[in-house]
Structure 1
């Protein structure tokens, strides 16, 4: 249920990453964007996201959560600041999720890192929303990428390649991936990576479905232009399609 759009300017060595909340309102029979992939596959999701933000989507990656766990373990874990106390248990068969961490800097293995990025709220209802979760996911991915690119061991690099090929589907060619990887070594993860989450209101209702996340069009447009815009001119509202409940 995690959808992110990334723009990489290889000339300026700048990366923009924007999270699209999973309940984002779209004009469909089931009006939440996280249902698009399940019903129409990656091409439908690419088309929907492109229509939403007004920018062509050149390539895609779908990532199995096993890759996330394996990659964190491959780099020896991640030092990460857990943003709040986390106490959540869900024993239902399709979840089996138990998350218990204290706010503060923690050293996390792959399973623990996955639990932290999946957390949304505690059993008592405290915690944060899906927007808060996307911000934690962005910070975690940045930390992982920074650590991966800091390794120079050939054997470890081969391990990364194995994890990627086993758990990631993409329309990028092997040549594309190798080229982007060589370029990414030059990214300063302190100043060269910017992240954002599309602002909106999660109280919308459409087609009988509650808790749809209606985007704040002006706020989103600012993020599109700041983090994703590949053009020499501004993206305008008429180029986008951020559906609104009338």
Structure 2
């Protein structure tokens, strides 16, 4: 393991916006579950999750754009989201945090109706059939999200994978979920959701790479309960 990665792991332990519970903490009753507003953010603002937050630039970008909301980036790779966590601390941002855990355990960390929105940004599309259940828009994951997403809560999927876009759109339509917005090319389309101007303005590291290679970026906004 490189020295830089070790240094990031070490700094994550002291950054005030990084939470790194163990699997046992999750399974035995996480102390912030249902209490993120009162005990961590110390306000009553809406909570927005970014699942698979990578370097954290989208969580930080959203937090800058919407100071009236609280954002939590979720990822298992702490050496990556260190970048976002450090930027937030250096800029005095108190409305963004990072939770290091497997997304498969996410429902253990949030209470019923505690989360207002979810962003899924450029996840692994898990194209192989045997990996189907690992797609973050698989029905099993949607059921997990229902456990903590408030009624009428919104999910956003932003991806370069036409496969995942099509898979998700097809499932949502077949299952009768409300699809608010769906775009096959957010940069090529003349119009897109006027309520999400940040959809184009905030870009992740991977989005920049994919766009540079000529890949189209797709987007779906939907409700799951």
- TM-score if structure 1 supplies the norm length? 0.26
Larger radius of gyration: 1
- TM-score if structure 2 supplies the norm length? 0.27
